[in-house]
Amino acid sequence: MKRYVLGKVVFAIPLLIIITFLAFGLNHLSPVEPAEAVLHAQGVPEITKELIAETREKLGMNDPFLFRYGSWLLDCLRLDFGSSYVTGLPVWSQLGPAFLNTLKLTLVSMAAIVGLSIALGVGSALREGRLLDKGIRGAAFLLTSMPPYWLATLMIWYFSVKLDLLPTSGMDAWQSYILPVAIITISYAGIYFRVIRSSMLGNLNEDYVLYARANGLLELLVTKHILRNSLQVAVSVFGMAIPVILGSTVVVENLFAWPGLGSLSVRAILSRDYPVIQAYVLILAVTFVFFNTLSDIVNAAMNPKARMDR
Amino acid sequence: MTKKTIYLLTLAALAIMLLAACSANSTNSGGATFNGSYSPQNASSSGADPAGSAANESTHPAAQELTYATAKDINDINPHLYAGSIPATGMVFESLVENTKDGIKPLLAESWDISPDGKSYTFHLRKGVTFHDGAPFNAEAVKKNIEAVQANAAKHAWIKLSAKIAAIHALDEHTVQLDLTEAYYPALLELAMTRPYAFISPNDFKNGGTRDGVTGYNGTGPYRLVEHKTDQYAVFEANESYWGEAPHLSKITAKVLPAGETTLLALKKGEVNFIFTDDRGADSIDVQAMNQLAEDQNYQIVRSQAMNTKIIAANSSKSDSPVAEKAVREALWQSIDRETISMDIFSGTELPAESLFSSNVNYADIGLGKREYNPEAAIRLLEEAGWKSDSRSGIRSKNGRALSVKLYYDAASPSQKTQAEFIQSTAKTAGIGLELVGEESSSLAKRRATGDYELLFNQTWGLAYDPQSTISAFTAESSYLHTTKGIHQADELYGKINEVMVSKDEQSRQALYREILTIVHDEAVFIPLTNGIVTIIAPKDLKHISFKQTQYELPFEKMGFQ
């Protein structure tokens, strides 16, 4: 098991290097003059050629591409992500709090998604083809096909303004989590419960279920076994959902004025704030690798066969 | 690690980078491309001050507190740089003088003398003024601040004074002398702007200056910044030791609300009770919803006078383009229905504009000829200029060249896109083919600076900066040089612009401005669309709502609840 985990981690390192190199290279190919974009983002009213030249020099943009990538990589190894081109502040002082805010939102949402998906998935699989199943699938279909932006506006109007129960936006208290978490949960649980449902249905027809029932096992115990086997697929899916949500909260953050990673990254991309963009890509890549490895390990722990396969 | 993971990771990285490489939209910046922004202090009470005393608990939670919604964080409000929110900077920092509708008035300088050659300004500073950190505001502080600004001159190219300051001397504790390299009449106007010649406590300097940032935000203004949570809110409290009349509102909070929908709902709920549209915010608030708020709840809507002009800049120096021809520019001018744009696209929140500057701009009330919406006249102009109609495509042509022109707009501004489409349809009836290209604002700025455009949405700098800053920009390569270079009196025009900036008497200045404005009006290189105004939504019982001589700031210190 130890060796298995170690292998995973070692494999992740070249992967991260490739990703950051790609990000760096693609940035480099962008037709927009980065010094100009940075000055624009700083609000400088008249950007002269001299100022662009001065800024390029100051930010080290005149150095060769590979040299810049190399020194960035070395700094990263020392956990120094550099300073934002636009604000001059250390990247980590901006990205750190935003990452934590988005992570909090993501983890709470994830808990809700897992709980809801399992409940709905098991419920609809056990009542396949009946009213409950149809009802759940219909409702999920309806809710997931609503644009989150629109649904969120409606929910803010109803719960915050009309009923006056929750704040419209911000992250001041625990109540602030309810609406954004609900929106994210609706968008994802409606899809993920199907994974559970279909793998439950697949397992229901397995021989071991037939034998278990033939042996007169309690139906509750049978369901437990089915669920345990069905969850293996779900673990990988859920594991990957965390980084996916982490990287796609822009709309929800914008609408709920959530000071997170989404709005920060879009702003950095538009102002060509390369140190921030690079750090963002790195963070996201690391979380992808981390959660993927984690779900592989959990799977391996749950099923010895998965360990042998590789 | 599965294949799927690698695939997902690569896909995610690619998606992010594609966005970086060719993104065509931006979350901020709504209005016309980009623009100056920076501006003076105080006071024209052009706004209405409607009565209506229905008090409402929900719109102002505690007495004398205001919470306004802002689309963006106030950011770094270092007054010597440009990244911060201008309304916030204006609350905290002050300049030597202020620009009012009655001209330049004293602020931190009580009085001033100008030497006969116009090259030396002596300011007598107000006594007993302190920065928020207790440091004295004196000649030494003024000298240090102005030197800190000058040390970063490359970033202040837009403010021509920055290139003309030769030296600053502290004559005694309360007197400073500013020496210029040549006479420059807008010197006081430019000193009045919110940035960069505003004063911050020298204790906040970093590395002996401000160009690398500041360590605090202690100004002399009516409000102190007491708390700032990035991307959440900023809290300002009244400065109890303010030298002027104490502000009525004791606390002002700027709450970050990026989405217009949420802003309206937060207003309805009373979480925020004040919004105003600067040039960026106008697009994000639904006008109908705004009117509804004013009808149903205890809100009032207050609108300013004309603050700036939205224009289409035509590149007269692009000799291979039809827009290099005056007749084409005039025809386009006459094929734009400004009334409809004002009423239907802006629901009356912008007014039709007939010339580059509205008549309330200094020196601009000179009765220039109107070119009204008149498709027949446009057709006549084109026919006379030899552009023959082509019944098949509907687009005119001359010597085998089609009358087809590219119009660039800011892809992040829905109102610009709608206007572009509307103008495209009316221009078509005159036989002008417009090809619409939406781009992100920094790329539009680059086109303007390099002359790589035919028609471009833009806007004048705004009341405090017009006409002098916008007109100076006619000669600046990164601004309107390409727009004006192609007209045949270009050299004459530039000569007059240089002359007006150093002119010493009011009469010759008026005459010169009249000539300058007449040339660009006749040549139709700046095609006016609408005049932008500032709209405020505030609780009904908030009194003394007024505006400054700029669309970027509000005189919060004058407002108060009864």
| C-alpha separations of A136 from A143, A188, B342 in Å | 11, 14, 49
Segment among B292-301, B369-378, B435-444, B454-463 with least mean pLDDT:
B292-301
Candidates B13, B83, B255; nearest CB to A42: B83
Q: For residue range B318-342, list pLDDT tens digits in order.
A: 989 999 999 999 999 999 999 999 9
| C-alpha separations of A148 from A103, A189, A240, B261 in Å | 19, 13, 21, 13
Candidates B1, B23, B262; nearest CB to A292: B1
DSSP string, B478-539: TTTHHHHHTSTTHHHHHHHHHHHHH--SHHHHHHHHHHHHHHHHHHT-EEEEEEE--EEEEE
Query: What is the C-alpha separation between B239 and B221, in angstroms, rounded?
Result: 7
What letter represents residue B54's amino acid?
Answer: A
Average pLDDT, chain B: 85
Residue B11 has pLDDT above 60, yes or no: no
Residue B193 has pLDDT above 70, yes or no: yes
Residue A149 has pLDDT above 70, yes or no: yes
pLDDT band at B67 (very low <50, low <70, confident <90, very high): very high
Residue A42 in contact with partner chain B when CB distance is under 8 A: yes
Segment among A26-35, B87-96, B329-338, B421-430 with least mean pLDDT:
A26-35
Q: What is the pLDDT of residue B417?
A: 92
Contact A285 B255 (CB under 8 A): no
Residues of B with CB below 8 A from A97's CB? Answer: 230
* Residues A269/B20, Cβ–Cβ less than 8 Å: yes
Average pLDDT, chain A: 86
Query: What is the C-alpha separation between B362 and B500, in angstroms, rounded?
Result: 13
Candidates B27, B75, B477; nearest CB to A270: B27
Residue B35 has pLDDT above 50, yes or no: no
CATH of domain B37-76+221-304+534-561: 3.40.190.10
Residues of B with CB below 8 A from A263's CB? Answer: 27, 231, 258
Candidates A87, A168, A264; nearest CB to B266: A168
DSSP string, B6-38: HHHHHHHHHHHHHHHHH----SS--SSS-----
- CATH fold, domain B94-214, is D-Maltodextrin-Binding Protein; domain 2 (3.40.190)
pLDDT band at B385 (very low <50, low <70, confident <90, very high): very high
CB pairs under 8 A between A and B: 190
Mutate to test the interface with B, among A47, A83, A252 (most CBs of B within 10 A): A47
Q: For residue range A196-216, list pLDDT tens digits in order.
A: 898 888 888 888 888 888 888
**In residues, how long is chain B?**
562
Residues of B with CB below 8 A from A296's CB? Answer: 1-2
Candidates A19, A26, A47; nearest CB to B478: A47
Contact B21 A26 (CB under 8 A): yes
- Structural domain boundaries in chain B: 37-76+221-304+534-561, 94-214, 308-532
Q: What is the pLDDT of residue B33?
A: 28
Q: CA angle, B159 as apex, B155 and B163 as ends, to 5°?
A: 80
Tell me if domain B94-214 and domain B308-532 are identical in fold.
no
Query: What is the C-alpha separation between B131 and B198, in angstroms, rounded?
Result: 12
Its pTM stands at: 0.83
Residue A171 has pLDDT above 50, yes or no: yes
The domains located in chain A, with CATH, are: 100-268 (1.10.3720.10)
pLDDT band at B145 (very low <50, low <70, confident <90, very high): very high
Query: What is the C-alpha separation between B526 and B528, in angstroms, rounded?
Result: 6
Strand partners, B557: none
Residue B142 has pLDDT above 90, yes or no: yes
pLDDT band at B228 (very low <50, low <70, confident <90, very high): very high
pLDDT band at B241 (very low <50, low <70, confident <90, very high): very high
3-state secondary structure B216-269: CCCCCCCEEEEEEECCCEEEEEECCCCCCCCCCCCEEEEEECCCHHHHHHHHHH
Query: What is the C-alpha separation between A244 and A238, in angstroms, rounded?
Result: 10
Query: What is the C-alpha separation between B496 and B515, in angstroms, rounded?
Result: 8
Contact A293 B1 (CB under 8 A): yes
Contact A259 B231 (CB under 8 A): yes
Q: For residue range A115-145, list pLDDT tens digits in order.
A: 999 999 988 988 888 899 999 999 988 888 8
Candidates A33, A87, A269; nearest CB to B76: A87
Query: What is the C-alpha separation between A48 and B465, in angstroms, rounded?
Result: 19
Contact B232 A254 (CB under 8 A): no
pLDDT band at A231 (very low <50, low <70, confident <90, very high): confident
Percentage of chain B modeled with pLDDT above 70 = 88
Residue A43 in contact with partner chain B when CB distance is under 8 A: yes
Mean pLDDT of A220-245: 84
Strand partners, B388: B397
Mean pLDDT of B29-36: 30
In B, minimum Cα distance to A269 occurs at B20
Closest by CA position to B467, among listed B550, B363, B369 = B363
Residues of B with CB below 8 A from A269's CB? Answer: 16, 19-20, 23
Q: What is the pLDDT of residue B418?
A: 92
Rounded to 10°, the helix A175-204/A148-155 angle is 130
Residue B20 has pLDDT above 80, yes or no: no
Residue A29 in contact with partner chain B when CB distance is under 8 A: yes
Tell me if residue B206 falls in helix, strand or coil.
strand
Strand partners, B169: B177
Residue B37 in contact with partner chain A when CB distance is under 8 A: yes
* Residues B432/B328, Cβ–Cβ less than 8 Å: yes
Contact B37 A48 (CB under 8 A): no
Q: For residue range A186-199, list pLDDT tens digits in order.
A: 988 888 888 889 88
The architecture CATH gives domain B308-532? Roll (3.10)
Query: What is the C-alpha separation between B221 and B199, in angstroms, rounded?
Result: 9
Mean pLDDT of B196-201: 96
Residues of A with CB below 8 A from B284's CB? Answer: none
C-beta contacts of A68-71 below 8 A and 24+ residues apart: A68/A24, A69/A21, A69/A24, A69/A25
Closest by CA position to B513, among listed B498, B526, B525, B500 = B500
Q: What is the least distance, in Å, from the CA of A45 to any CA of chain B?
A: 5
Please give the structure tokens belonging to residue B189: 């106007």
Residue B366 in contact with partner chain A when CB distance is under 8 A: no
Percentage of chain A modeled with pLDDT above 90 = 18
Other CB atoms within a 10 A radius of the CB of residue B140 amount to 13
Residue B280 has pLDDT above 80, yes or no: no
